Amino acid sequence: MSTVTHEGETLIDEAVFAGKIFIDGQWVAGGGGQIPSVEPATGRTLADVGLADAADVARAAEGAARAQKEWAAMPHPARAAVLRKAGALWEQYAEEIGGWNTREVGAIPPLAGFALHVTASECYEASALPSAPRGSILSSEEPRLSLAEQVPVGVVGVISPFNVPLILGIRAVAPALALGNAVLLKPDPRTVITGGVAMVRIFEEAGLPAGLLQLVPGGADVGEAMVADPHVRVIAFTGSTRAGRSVGESAGRHLKRAHLELGGNSAFLVRGDADVDKAVNLATWGAFLHQGQICMTVGRHIVHESIFEEYVEKLAAKAESMHVGDPAAGQVHLGPLIDEVQRDRVHSLVQDAVAQGAELRAGGTYDQLFYRPTVLANTPIKAEAYCEEVFGPVASVVPYSTDDDAVELAAATEYGLSLGIVTADAMAGLELARRIPTGIVHINDQTVNDEANAPFGGVGSSGTGSRHGGAQANIDAFTETRWITMRREPGSYPL
């Protein structure tokens, strides 16, 4: 398998991809036209990106189905080699791709670097999947060999969001490819270069055969066409709960599986025996990292009444000390929100909470897309800034009296993604965690954590459980199970 670029060259060349989508190994004009990729920190156009339409999805899915059969039949070391090479290439081009992540997504450089680390790790973890056991020998009451075999589904549709497009795309793309599938990738139109072009170019250079990774950016119409296409058998969607419900409903109508990783409003429970300074350090990261634009972000800070005021004061002081600005221009703690629509929504939620009686202890202001880290104390639990996913740098802090009160507050949500508990008694923290339904729990840590080999997913309105992370979750997500029996001689039946 040959590569298409060489070490030392630029991986992402605007002259090649500008205004185009990627189908069957070629950059071609998309039926949906093109839009500018805008740097949220400056408003500057970085490049034009192509958009697909429903006809492009149909062509891409048909090409993917053709390519997938030969790919699945390849010896497993060949597929593993492509994934290992992809992992090395993410590391080789980390500086270049990290620059796009900072400019296009608004990620501060440390977060961009973390995203590259996890993305490479996802490929390395996926490289072990082609040789992993995929089946079992079953007992049978008949004189035959009975097997359960897990085989590729064929074509997987991956729909990824704007906020952390590398991680939230690769965690489905890499294992799906490794297990012998082809992939249609639809990144958010606002982050096509980081979440789509970079991924295509990495796998292209890694030697992935043409047609196995098709790039079809677009809006809801493209996502609907992907879900409806008969060649696409599984949908891996990451995004808002509202959009996820629509994807799930459509997938159900078309009798196909949808793995949904959706929104969150994670609770951060601080017991009265906690070290307040350490808890505030954790809370600052969990609430304000990437401007709060992470599904695992700490939204609800539930703090024992004995340390409540100290916690609020120190968290507010920390928020006031943080630098907000262009992450590509200098060292800052927070970059910009993705666009004006998101900024205005965040600000509206903050203003509404204050109108309902929340105390604004820090932030609550913005300049262009740069929103100050915000601390609200005693937020009414019915205010949307407390009970809904904000997707902005807003920390709502409420007090509690007893452990039972804390459990009631933490569990009183439709979401169930991540949970953080800070306490001097880790076993007491575990006992509390077992009473609060979430897909992820971190005791004496904050809620925003990710490792390529760990199960990831939520319950309730946060999604359909752990469908990413770890060999078994990925195998279950991107294969079908077949029952196979074999007899030495044909069986005999009484009819």
Fold of 14-262+463-483: Aldehyde Dehydrogenase; Chain A, domain 1 (3.40.605)
Give Cα separations from 379 to 229, 354, 355, 404 (angstroms).
Answer: 45, 8, 10, 20
| Residue pair 336/291 in contact by the 8 Å Cβ criterion | yes
Per-domain boundaries in the chain: 14-262+463-483, 266-443
**First CA to last CA distance, the chain:** 55
Is there a shared CATH topology between the 14-262+463-483 domain and the 266-443 domain?
Answer: no
3-state secondary structure of 261: strand
Q: What is the pLDDT of residues 445-458, one digit of tens each?
A: 999 999 999 999 99
Predicted pLDDT at 2:
30
Predicted pLDDT at 7:
46
> Which CATH number does 266-443 carry?
3.40.309.10
Handedness of CA 349, 395, 190, 261 (dihedral sign): negative
Distance CA 91, CA 97 (A): 10
Give Cα separations from 74 to 70, 71, 151, 382 (angstroms).
Answer: 6, 5, 13, 55
Kindly name the residue from 295, 305, 480, 489 that is annotated as catalytic: 295
Q: At what angle do helices 76-92 and 198-206 cross, to 10 degrees?
A: 130
Task: Establish whether 142 is a catalytic residue.
Answer: no
The torsion angles phi and psi of 157, rounded to 5 degrees, stand at -95, 125
Predicted pLDDT at 98:
97
Counting beta carbons within 10 angstroms of the beta carbon of residue 221, is it exposed (0 to 12), middle (13 to 18) or buried (19 or more)? middle
Kindly name the residue from 261, 340, 431, 451 that is annotated as catalytic: 261
Predicted pLDDT at 1:
30
Residue ranges for the chain with pLDDT beneath 50: 1-7
Q: What is the pLDDT of residues 186-244, one digit of tens each?
A: 999 999 999 999 999 999 999 999 999 999 999 999 999 999 999 999 999 999 999 99
Predicted pLDDT at 484:
97
Task: Establish whether 70 is a catalytic residue.
Answer: no
Predicted pLDDT at 8:
52
**Which runs of consecutive H residues, i.e. helices, occur in 334-413?**
340-355, 384-387, 403-411
* Whole-model pTM over 0.85: yes
Nearest to 243 by CA among 295, 290, 287, 184: 295
